[in-house]
Amino acid sequence: MSALKLGLPSKGRLQDLTIDWFAGRGISVTRTGSGREYAGQVSGVDNVELVLLSAGEIPRELAAGRIHLGVTGQDLVHEKIPDWPSRIVEILPMGFGFADLILAVPSVWVDVESLDDFDAVCAAFRAKYGFRLRIATKYHNLTREFLRAHDVADYQLVDSQGATEGTVKNLTAEAIADITSSGATLEANHLKILPDGLILKSQATLFGAKTADWSGAAASALRQMQERMGTDMSGLLDG
């Protein structure tokens, strides 16, 4: 009988807040070992195996059904897993890890105050320079879907693996689509968020895998977790 595999962030403040969140619901998560050893245990619910992963790995493991439940940001699930609702269930937003995925442009673009303005700039940019305006982002899928839905054209997405906010200053992009919590870093880099440029509001969320094996011990553990958390997760057992 296989245990329920619970995927949690492997380090940092997100892990600490997640552990506190479960503790407040009578489920104790204890990190064991030290250094680079990612191990731990769960008590308060029987037959739960802790799997510590980076927040970016958890969506992939959920989609593949290799873990049953996982905590990660909504932005990561929506970005990394095509047609994610067919494979993953959003169970419960957790009330921390808030961040907005936004579209930001240089503050000196005083006449650009909407997506319509931005679309006009993209068209003018291509006409003037002969290539599309560059938007630096790590969130290609979400950004592309958002701009398509708002009929923005004549842009190209360029991959950003470092500090996305610095790409405009470094002349490797003309605009950015990135996660922000306070907007302070954007302001420090002389960028402004378009008033209608909110792509996604995100927070840490408990997700469930539709394709995981929910038989035996895993099903029993899920029922115990439901009682502890006061949240209906029975839909996972119906899949």
pLDDT of amino acid 64: 97
Amino acid at 176: I
Q: How far apart are CA 51 and CA 70, in angstroms?
A: 9
Residues 34 and 63 grouped into a single domain: yes
Q: What is the CATH number of the domain that holds 197?
A: 3.40.190.10
pTM across the whole model: 0.91
Segment 170-203, tens digit of pLDDT: 999 999 999 998 888 899 999 999 999 999 999 9
Residue pLDDT, tens place only, 44-91: 999 999 999 999 999 999 999 999 999 999 999 999 999 999 999 999
Please indicate, yes or no, whether residues 58 and 84 belong to a single structural domain of this protein: yes
144-179 pLDDT tens trace:
999 999 999 999 999 997 789 999 999 999 999 999
End-to-end Cα spacing for the chain: 19
Q: Which domain holds residue 170?
A: 99-202
pLDDT tens column, 91-130:
999 999 999 999 999 999 999 999 999 999 999 999 999 9
**Are 110 and 188 part of one and the same domain?**
yes
Same domain, 46 and 105: no
Residue 36 neighbours by CB distance under 10 Å = 7
Three-state SS string over the chain comes to CCCEEEEEECCHHHHHHHHHHHHCCCCEEEEECCCCCCEEEEECCCCEEEEEECCCCHHHHHHHCCCCEEEEEHHHHHHHCCCHHHCEEEEEECCCCCEEEEEEEECCCCCCCCHHHHHHHHHHHHHHHCCCEEEEECCHHHHHHHHHHCCCCCEEEEECCCCHHHCCCCCCCCEEEEEECCCHHHHHCCEEEEEEEEEEEECEEEEEECCCCCCCHHHHHHHHHHHHHCCCCCHHHHC
Residues 195 and 124 both lie in one domain: yes
Q: 11 and 93 share a domain?
A: yes
d(CA 165, CA 136) in angstroms, rounded, equals: 9
* Same domain, yes or no: 116 and 162: yes
Instruction: Mark whether 13 and 89 lie in a shared domain.
Output: yes
Q: What is the pLDDT of residue 1?
A: 53
| Rounded CA separation 57/143 (Å) | 20
Whether residues 26 and 67 share a domain: the answer is yes
Domain count, the chain: 2
User: Looking at this protein, which amino acid is placed at residue 149?
Assistant: A
My answer on whether 32 and 65 are in the same domain is yes
105 with 192, same domain: the answer is yes
* The pLDDT value given to residue 34: 57
Nearest to 109 by CA among 119, 121, 125: 121
Q: pLDDT at position 162, please?
A: 79
Contact criterion met (CB below 8 Å) for 230 and 27: no
Same domain, 18 and 54: yes
CB contact burial 49-62 (16+ within 10 A = b; e otherwise): bbbbbebebbbbbb
Q: Is the pLDDT of residue 40 over 90?
A: no
Give the contacts of 50 (CB within 8 A, at least 6 positions apart).
6, 8, 29, 39, 40, 41, 42
